[in-house]
Amino acid sequence: MWTEQEILMILQGLWETVIIVFVSTFFGYILGLPLGVLLAVTDSEGIKPHPMLYKVLDVVTNVLRSVPFIILLVVLIPLTRAIVGKSYGTAATIVPLVIAAAPFIARMVESSIKEVDHGVIEAAQSMGAGTMTIVTKVLVAEARTSLLVGVTIAFGTILGYSAMAGAVGGGGLGSIAIRYGYNRWQPHILWPSVIILVLLVQLFQILGMKISKNLDRRRT
């Protein structure tokens, strides 16, 4: 019922989606992880309170988060062009995805880190640990399970966004679903694309939770 060409196209789309989501999640964390740590650390309850810096980061994060992704996509076209040279295709999709995901990732990181028991932080301080040591060896290390759950959530969200990016000429399965499924009404392309997208989210959900659970030493 599918031509070889169509199968290849869907596989190609799947591959692009995987690349887009992985690369976007990766760069999302490159920006979001430090931002989230900074938010948690400079908060009034954090280990290095800094009300001014916190306020600025807090506002920037909130503003970015409240812009609907589809608007961000359009607004960021000049930036995308400046970075990857064009405003459509796989690479071009990644830029707005990273910008959209980073603040959302930062919030998740912030809340994961704030879950770390304050007593443990205090113990580290009593041993003379500096801020950087506490960040890396206590905050991030102790929050790792929660951080990994965050990664799987980020992954699913970015996958969803990537499908949306397909609407404005991004690559991947989302774009195929829209071009063939919506624009030309070809259900035999639409549905496999959608089902693969859903399965992909499920797969990463299960995988992420499993890894996170395996890494958790808090239970016996």
Please select the residue that binds another protein; options are 49, 85, 130, 187, rule is CB under 8 A.
Answer: 130
Distance (Å, rounded) from C-alpha 88 to C-alpha 120? 48
203 binding another protein? (CB under 8 A):
no
Please select the residue that binds another protein; options are 111, 125, 186, 205, rule is CB under 8 A.
Answer: 125
Smallest gap, in angstroms, from Cβ of residue 133 to another protein? 6
Query: Quick one: three-class SS letters along 117-143?
Result: CHHHHHHHHHCCCCHHHHHHHHHHHHC
Nearest to 17 by CA among 162, 161, 152, 157: 162
- 17 C-beta neighbours (distance < 10 Å), count: 27
* CA distances in angstroms from 98 to 15, 64, 203, listed in the order given: 18, 11, 22
Binding segment for another protein (CB under 8 A), chosen from 16-24, 54-62, 135-143, 174-182, is 135-143
Conformational region of residue 202, where left means phi above 0, alpha means psi within -120 to 50, and beta covers everything else: alpha
44 binding another protein? (CB under 8 A):
no
* CA distances in angstroms from 164 to 69, 161, 220, listed in the order given: 8, 5, 42
Give, to the nearest 10 degrees, the angle between helix 77-84 and helix 90-114: 110
Binding segment for another protein (CB under 8 A), chosen from 2-10, 96-104, 120-128, 184-192, is 120-128
Smallest gap, in angstroms, from Cβ of residue 128 to another protein? 4
Binding segment for another protein (CB under 8 A), chosen from 34-42, 69-77, 131-139, 193-201, is 131-139
Please select the residue that binds another protein; options are 129, 167, 201, 211, rule is CB under 8 A.
Answer: 129
Residue for token pair 């951080």: 147
Per-residue x/- track, 10-39, another protein (CB under 8 A): ------------------------------
220 binding another protein? (CB under 8 A):
yes
Residues in contact with another protein by the rule CB under 8 A: 117, 119-120, 122-130, 133, 137-138, 141-142, 144-145, 215-220
